[in-house]
Structure 1
Amino acid sequence: MSIDGRGDRTERVYRELRDAVLDGRLRRGVRLPATRELAASLGVSRSTVSTAYERLTAEGYLVARVGSGTFVAMPAAADGRTPRRPAAAQPAPAWRDLADPLWSEPHPIAYDFSVGSPDPALFPADAWRRAVTAALRGPALRTAHYADPAGPERLRAGIARHLGLARSVAAAAEDVVITSGAQQAFDLLGRTLLSPGDTVAVEDPGYPPVRQLFEQLGARVVPVPVDEHGLRVDRLPPARLVYVTPSHQFPLGGVLPLERRTALLEWAARHDAVVVEDDYDSEYRFGARALDPLQRLDADGRVVYVGTFSKTMLPGLRLGFLVAPPSLVPALRSAKRLTDWHNDVVTQAAMASLLDSGAFASHVRRARRVYEERHALIGREAGPLLASRLAVVPSSAGLHLALRPVDGVPFDSARVTAAAAVAGVAVQPLPRFAVSGGWEGLLLGFGAIAVEDIPDGVRLLAEAVGRIRAG
């Protein structure tokens, strides 16, 4: 608040306070400074502030409570909403009405089969609390300088060691860049690898935020079909970059066979392209060990391996990473510095501690057992109840299963999803993830639903499918 210049100072104090109440800057219940304190800060007399307070109290904007002080009494605006400011400024056309197919406003739902959500009840809260406490007491915060954009060496080394043991990724600490989740890794890669008009190939159906991101960066994004084995490498166009999920194709769940992996690397060499390998949830593999990642097979330095702690820990930590060929790391470090400089130092230090102590590996083993039980239960429940309309797509990893219509059976994914929601069941329609048509079906995540709720949830979903069929 500023009360400079000539004029009625009492009137100015009154109007400034009244406008702050009306536009929501001062919300109901907020305690105002004492008259002496506010007068001193504004450089006016105490009587000026007292008179303004009295007028605002008489008009119902403020209320005085003996022994407690003066508080805001009136909510912002008569209808309870903060008045909107003029909206002359507009975003660039590409950013207008950009839909988010994965996110929705959180709300209570009885049976939540959302995709991509880990179970927060499995989060190793005690180990994390100890690690954060130790980080707060350590040297991470005792510096006046910004940290390394690529992340602390201890965390990068821990990630490289973990990936080598768990996924056979060939990496050293200097190959790793810490990011704010996998999405920022894709953003950094787009910024450093692409020029406007460059062609990017993505899976179809696939992960929509990646497709949207590369489009916003000015790339020409070409959807490439997938089948039960993953990306159709034979359908790839010439491109600067291809995004692929070879170990657990999102969203169908296929595993790219070795011959296609070899063909993909040969394609990249022919077209001088970069392969972005998103290994988003391979920690949760049930049964046989996965094929070695593309990064391990890459002899030319064309594959960038991207991972995240959003599925193994929590999305809210915003902690991911990429493993890049040495030729790309300097540019990626610079892009990270220019984007947000570096991730939160306490979170990074705590994650490094969990990796070094073995607590992270123990947590993943425990969580894998829980998710394996849910994965198997959904398969057992969905098979008999939905067999006449939907078939479960075989998958041995991750936090969701895809269901496709039985051959020759018509299926309306949008109507089924809406009917399920009315019954208290949240599922996601498969067409939401596809650019081309013909991809009817549903996705059932099992990270956010308790194992004891799965049978009832699947039963209610089957009843919703039956109602749509009858209608």
Structure 2
Amino acid sequence: MQAAIAEEVFPRGSRLPPTRDLARELGVSRNTVMHVYESLMAQGYVTARTGSGTWIAETLPENSLQSDAIADLQAVKAQRPATLSKRGASLLGHATASPWQWGAFVPGAPDVTEFPHKLFSQIQARLNREPDVHRLVYSSGGGCPDLRHALVDYLRVARSVRADADQILITEGVHQAVDLVTRVLCDPGDRVWMEEPGYWGTRNLLRMNGLKIRAMPVDEQGLVPDSGPAPKMVFVTPSHQYPLGVHLSLARRQALIALARRHQSWIVEDDYDSEFRFSGQPHPSLQGLEADAPVIYMGTFSKTLYPALRIGYMVVPKPLAQPLRIAAAELYRGGHLLIQRALAEFIRLGHYMEHIRRMRLLYRQRRQFLCKLIERYLGPAFLPAFNHEAGLHLVMPLPAGSDDVAIAAEALKRGVKVRPLSQYYMHPQEARGLLLGYACVNERQCQDAFGTLKACLMSAGMVFCPPR
């Protein structure tokens, strides 16, 4: 600040922000800002006016001080730019994480306004009145024991998962879980299979850990295995494939488990959106299909509760439990034990299942509403090719040759956030489409955004054939 005042970045006689506002903007304590203001005042750079705040002095200190300050500022400007490693540059070059996580058509975004915040806060407040030193220290790597025991019961009933509490590790989400298992169980250069199309977040993590990704095609029965070189790991979303939404058939599940047993490989099951199936019974987990299956099962509360909770979980084969627990403690120094304990109580009291049932009905209505809009105004050709009633988004197909990236960019300019399907492919494909999330806003907001999206499609030359 001294250098900026000396170079008159802050004009003489101008008012500085209040200490409270500047502290909030910079993310520092108010005491720090007050100390800086006092130092500047002592050196003659600013003056305090009773009742009106702190102001830049009309006459600055002698030139020698100004020269030093300007020299310091020039030295800062001359600092070299950040030099990234090759893998850092690769990560940024493939970055697709969106800064927009809320709004009509944002895929994978739950309606966080429907979460029972008051009820959850009451549970937290009650537990906070019962201090326990073990909830205030670093996690051992496995996470809160109460939450692990609660998950044993829930996953057994809801997902047919076979496990005891020692096989469960609490994570900060699927990203951390994937990072952990690839670091511990794979070496750079190992071959892994991944669905094509598939989740870009997983793909970037695998790249960062130096793995050779083989993109495996997906059809109406899920990932298509073949007889090529065996992978060290297979990453799959069997209950609700992301992003297409198909279900991995029983025959394919059995084939994958047989392949993994034969080649001593691991299957990583991301149980994406399995809780939100709107017709029929939820498909059971791949992990529970066979006893002692070589499957690492992953889940999260980001979609069922809210993303900022940052709590996920892994169910791992017994031989992996201790190594992964130790590795997690070494790499991440896990915490959040207080909120994990509150979540365990939330599950134990039945509130979690009640919330899922309520949200399942709400999301079903919102999906049906969006499908009716598509059919009525665009035509049946724009309805999802795989009409699996599940999850928090659908894929609206576009005619061959469409530029889904350009359409998504134009929609964003108009305030509507969609994702192009082509972004989920590792290799160029003819398939084009848009991922439309329908979960996080009400029907009126959805209809308003749909009108904007339709205008973008018309601008791109789309021809609609709605029913008469």
Shift in alpha-carbon separation, 1:71–1:126, aligned structure 2, 3 A: farther
Among 45, 50, 61, the residue aligned to 1:66: 50
CA distance in 2, matches of 1:93, 1:386: 45
1-structure distance, mates of 2:272, 2:349: 23
Question: How big is each residue's C-alpha offset from its partner over 1:69-100, in whole Å with a ceiling of 9 and x where there is no partner?
Answer: 857899xx9xxxxx768246523211115246
| Contact 1:402/1:443 (8 A) holds in 2 | yes
CA distance in 1 between counterparts of 2:9 and 2:350 reads 54
What is the TM-score with the length of structure 1 in the denominator? Answer: 0.82
For residues 99 and 57 of structure 2, what CA distance do their matches in structure 1 show?
A: 30
**8 A contact 1:140–1:345 mirrored in 2:** no
Q: Aligned to 1:328, what secondary structure does the other structure show?
A: helix
Superimposed CA distance per residue, residues 362-391 of structure 1 (whole angstroms, 9 cap, x where no aligned partner): 111111111011111112211232237633
| Whole-Å separation in 1 of the counterparts to 2:404 and 2:54 | 56
- Counterpart in the other structure of 1:103: 97
Q: CA RMSD in A?
A: 3.3
* Equivalent of 1:402 in 387, 395, 402: 395
Residues 229 and 143 (structure 1 numbering): CA distance in 2 closer, same or farther, change over 3 Å?
closer
Aligned-residue offset at 1:415 = 2.3
SS at match of 1:291: coil
Aligned to 1:344: 336
2:410 match: 419
Could you tell me how far apart the structure 2 residues matched to 1:106 and 1:447 are?
15
Query: What is the 5 A alignment of 1:133-212?
Result: 133-141=125-133, 145-212=137-204
Q: CA deviation at 1:263?
A: 0.8
Matched, 1:56 2:44: yes
- Deviation for aligned residue 1:457: 2.6
What is the distance in 1 between the residues matched to 2:462 and 2:245?
30
TM-score (norm 2): 0.83
Structure 2: how far apart are the matches of 1:160 and 1:137? 27
User: Does the aligned pair in 2 maintain the 1:233–1:264 contact within 8 Å?
Assistant: yes
Structure 2, unaligned stretches of length 5 or more?
Answer: 11-15, 23-30, 59-69, 71-75, 464-468
For the Cα contact (< 8 Å) 1:30–1:71, is it kept in 2?
Answer: no
Q: How many residues are matched?
A: 429
Find the aligned partners of 1:372 and 1:215 in 2 and give their Cα distance.
Answer: 36
For residue 64 of structure 1, give the secondary structure of its aligned residue in structure 2. Answer: strand
Consecutive unaligned residues in structure 1, runs of 5 or more: 1-13, 43-48, 78-82
The letter of the residue matching 1:65 is: R
**2: distance between equivalents of 1:356 and 1:316?**
21
Task: Report SS of the residue matched to 1:294.
Answer: coil
Name the residue aligned to 1:453: 445
Q: d(CA) in 2 for partners of 1:160 and 1:334?
A: 21
Give the whole-Å Cα distance in 1 for the aligned partners of 2:78 and 2:366: 48
Mapped contact 1:28–1:72 kept (Cα < 8 A):
no
Change (3 A) 1:448 1:234: same
- 1:428-447 matches, cutoff 5 A: 428-436=419-427, 437-447=429-439
State the identity as a percent: 33
Deviation at 1:233?
A: 1.8
In the alignment, the residues of structure 1 paired with residue 462 and residue 211 of structure 2 have an alpha-carbon distance, to the nearest angstrom, of: 45
* Paired residues for 1:38-437 under 5 Å: 53=41, 55-57=43-45, 62-66=46-50, 86-87=79-80, 90-96=83-89, 98-99=91-92, 102-106=96-100, 112-141=104-133, 145-234=137-226, 237-387=229-379, 390-393=382-385, 394-405=387-398, 409-436=400-427, 437=429
Distance change (3 Å), C-alpha of 1:113 and 1:15: closer
- Bigger drift between 461-470 and 216-225 goes to 461-470
Distance 2:228 2:397 in 1: 25
Give the CA deviation at 1:298: 3.1
Match of 2:13 in 1: none
